[in-house]
Structure 1
Amino acid sequence: MGKITNEENNWIKVNKWLKRNLTWVYFTIAIVFILFPNTDYSPFIDKWNNILQKIGFVGLTSGVFASVLKSIQFTGLFQEELTKIISGTEFLNNRKDLPDLWKKISKSIYAQKFPEISDLLEDRILTTYFPMDRNHYNEDLIVSIVIHDINDDFIINYTQTIEYNAILDNEKNESYIVYTDTIKDEQKVTEKNELLSFKVDGIEIDKEKCRTVKEEEGKIKYIHRVPISGKKKFKVFLKVKNTYSLKGENVKLLRFNTITKNVDVTVSYNKDIDVSFFNVGVVNDFEPIHTDMLNTLSRRHRDDLILPRQGFGLSFNKR
């Protein structure tokens, strides 16, 4: 590209000045057209002087007003009201393109910084962290884990209970509670996940009827899917007994599949076992509580949300 000359640079400055002061330029020209024909310096006859005055009045009443209106519309008087309309709930609810609208908004935030990954980032946020197919979130979730023993072959046995409130979407009147167990598809591996109880509002669910089985990548998945509908809040209770070997990996991960608010975790174990807690993906860490209790590990998560694929982990060792 060639170097900008002084004349071009001056023209750019003048152009920017005109844009910034367009209202006053209109106003000044209109006043000149109104006043100049009445002076002794006007070389025009009365007919043309009257025409110039009319042009001035028209410019003053239309051009200046339109210019002023355009300039204040987005910088002052009407900005707040327009913002209320555009971002209001009713306006958004009537839109049928909210995912596309989200992408357009997000592009204005980060696409200029990361154009190469912006599409992947948008899809990940919508499908994983704000899943559109989920019509509820979980609240006041309590996880209790009782470790019964770790034997000499490093096989762990424990019982886990999870209870929480499922809060249904205000607009949608139905959703699904989903619980998934995964075990390795190998005969020689000691592994067992037994769903002892699955209750919704105190009513035991028929586990056989709500369960589907999938095999993928050397693992068997037992997916339990229960529909909920008709009211705002549902009480969910799960109790599972797990047995598996710690020789390959001495950790347990619990990652949530639904947006979750308020979580309490309690782990009980005997004196010959060491248990460590670690956070998985959360922005604000779980806080230790009840630290003076022997053979018990307690953590609490408040004032934040846990998004899908986030949660916590435990590692185990024998003393």
Structure 2
Amino acid sequence: MKKFLQKLFEGIYNNILYVALIVGGFFLMFAFTNLIFETGENGGWREFFKVAGTTILSSGVFMAIAKSHQFTNIFKDELRSVIYSSEHLENRNDLDDIWIRVSEALCKQKFHTINKKVFNTIKKYYLPFDQEYFYKRFDMDATYEFIDEYPDYIKAEIELDTDIVVDDPDGFKYYFSSIIPLPPNDNGRTQYNLEEIKINDEVLEDVKEKGFLKTTRTEKALSIDFKYHIPTSNDEIKITRKDTTIYNLDSNPFSSHSASWLYKMFNVRITYPKNLHIDWVDFGVLGKWTHNLKSTNSHNVLKANYNGLIFKNQGFMILFRKL
């Protein structure tokens, strides 16, 4: 009996359109015949069969449509477009969970013991959640020369030319910092000077007097800290900077350029004397820097280019050695 009822229900479901047409049509025909409902006393039954017939007929047609493969695909596509639209996603508070589940699906559920750490690392270091801007172009031109009066000291003149894309209508905070270790008995020889900084070709004046640039000297190090809030109504800002640093080479045998923000393209040009040896070290980047070394009578010129995304804490390192 159970199997009979199961097959009966399956047969009705698979042929729901025909069952609805027959039963619904029969009820409607029953409702409008005058042979049965000849008096007003039976008006309630007439209305019952009329409503029941219409409901069965319309429900059967809808179920037949809903069962169709085409309707299912359309419904799924429309539902997906609603759920994953930008407007909908921006208002969700479970994006982290969606990110993890989608990532797990992309990884085909591999490495269950470390996958959350992988996802959190990618989110922290590769997705620009906390970034106010990124460098569309970053050009660095550096010239190194030894100081005649102090053979163990070197002078670095660095010019930066950058295009910054901003994603905040209220502007952003532009800052840089550095710590230069001092040798014993430095006697003030280590120096830093911000020669010029321009924002959209306008010189920013009196950076020390206005408190934008602060330098702090201790027995062990010279600290440099620059902070300036740039109000902007433009999506792209041009910033150029020139600075000169004199420091002891033995106390500073390398120069590290580690990204604090996202870079799209980085170009480097380094000019240095032939009695100074330079080793270039890629620093965590996913691709490869391209290099081109040329020589003149007295100097070497190294050009390096990275055309691709450089993420936080990536970049390059230069190792110096006096010959």
Report TM bin, short chain.
0.5 to 0.7
Aligned match for 1:230, one of 229, 232, 241: 232
Shift of 1:316: 2.1
Residue of structure 1 equivalent to 2:305: 300
Please, which runs of 5 or more residues in structure 1 have no aligned partner?
A: 1-21, 37-49
Question: Contact between 2:164 and 2:237, CA under 8 Å: does it hold in 1?
Answer: yes
RMSD of aligned alpha carbons: 4.2
Question: Contact between 1:159 and 1:240, CA under 8 Å: does it hold in 2?
Answer: yes
Pair 153,83 (structure 1): closer, same or farther in 2 beyond 3 Å: farther
Pair 109,235 (structure 1): closer, same or farther in 2 beyond 3 Å: same
Pair 206,56 (structure 1): closer, same or farther in 2 beyond 3 Å: same
Task: Report the more deviating stretch, 57-66 or 137-146.
Answer: 57-66
Q: How many residues align?
A: 275
Question: Contact between 1:26 and 1:59, CA under 8 Å: does it hold in 2?
Answer: no
Shift of 1:270: 1.4
Q: Percent identity?
A: 18
Structure 2 letter corresponding to 1:311:
G
Shift of 1:267: 0.3
Does 2:314 align with 1:310? yes
Residue of structure 2 equivalent to 1:274: 277
Please, which runs of 5 or more residues in structure 2 have no aligned partner?
A: 1-8, 24-48
Residue of structure 2 equivalent to 1:168: 166
Task: Report the more deviating stretch, 111-120 or 202-211.
Answer: 111-120
Question: Contact between 1:134 and 1:175, CA under 8 Å: does it hold in 2?
Answer: no
Q: Partners in 1 of 2:10 and 2:153 — Cα distance?
A: 80
Pair 266,119 (structure 1): closer, same or farther in 2 beyond 3 Å: same
Residue of structure 2 equivalent to 1:64: 64
Does 2:181 align with 1:188? no
Pair 82,231 (structure 1): closer, same or farther in 2 beyond 3 Å: same
Aligned match for 2:262, one of 255, 259, 268: 259
Pair 219,119 (structure 1): closer, same or farther in 2 beyond 3 Å: farther
Question: Contact between 1:211 and 1:224, CA under 8 Å: does it hold in 2?
Answer: yes
Question: Contact between 1:168 and 1:231, CA under 8 Å: does it hold in 2?
Answer: no
Question: Contact between 1:162 and 1:238, CA under 8 Å: does it hold in 2?
Answer: yes
The equivalences for 1:67-82 within 5 A come to: 67-68=67-68, 76-82=73-79
Pair 33,84 (structure 1): closer, same or farther in 2 beyond 3 Å: closer
Question: Contact between 1:26 and 1:60, CA under 8 Å: does it hold in 2?
Answer: no
Structure 2 letter corresponding to 1:234:
I
Does 2:185 align with 1:157? no
Q: TM-score, normalised by structure 2?
A: 0.67
Residue of structure 2 equivalent to 1:4: none
Does 2:98 align with 1:105? yes
Structure 1 letter corresponding to 2:321:
N
Shift of 1:262: 1.9
